[in-house]
Amino acid sequence: MVLSDPANTYPAKNKNVAWKLLEGEALALNLDSGVYFTLNTTGTAVWERIDGTTSLTEIACGLCEQFDVTLEQAQQDLIELTQTLLDEGLVRVTNETSTAPGVQRA
C-alpha cells in the first residue's frame, strides 16, 4: 500500500502485536513472525498515537508540538516510519476512521 494522503490515512496497531515501553522506548513483537522491533523516542511518540482513529496528519501535528520539527518534515518522516511499520506487519492502515482495524463499531 502506498501512503499518499496523510489526512485520510488512519493507522492502527495490528492485533497480533504485543508491545511494551522500556526506558522510554517502545518494544513491539509481531506475534505472527516473532520479530522484535524497537522504536526510539520519536518512534515511540508516534506508536503511542496510533489508534485507528487519528490520521497521519493529526499525528504529525502532535509531533510538531512535542518536538522541534516542521509539519512538512514530520509528515515526511511519519509516512516513512508508517510504511516501515506496515511492511513489518506491526500496523494496518485504512482511509476511513470508521472502518479502521482495531476500532470497534457501536
Res. 99: pLDDT tops 60: no
Q: Helices 56-66 and 71-87, interaxial angle, to 10°?
A: 120
The answer to whether position 99 is within a domain reads no
The answer to whether position 23 is within a domain reads yes
Find the CATH number of the domain harbouring 28.
1.10.10.1150
The answer to whether position 62 is within a domain reads yes
The answer to whether position 1 is within a domain reads no
* Inter-residue contact 27 to 20 (CB < 8 Å): yes
Res. 104: pLDDT tops 80: no
Domain span at residue 34? Answer: 7-90
- pLDDT tens-digit map of 45-96: 999 999 999 999 999 999 999 999 999 999 999 999 999 999 999 999 988 7
The answer to whether position 66 is within a domain reads yes
Q: Please tell me the predicted confidence (pLDDT) of residue 2.
A: 60
Q: Please tell me the predicted confidence (pLDDT) of residue 6.
A: 82
The answer to whether position 58 is within a domain reads yes
What is the pTM assigned to this prediction? 0.85
The answer to whether position 100 is within a domain reads no
Other beta carbons within 10 angstroms of residue 104's beta carbon come to 5
- First and final C-alpha spacing in the chain: 28
**How many domains does the chain fold into?**
1
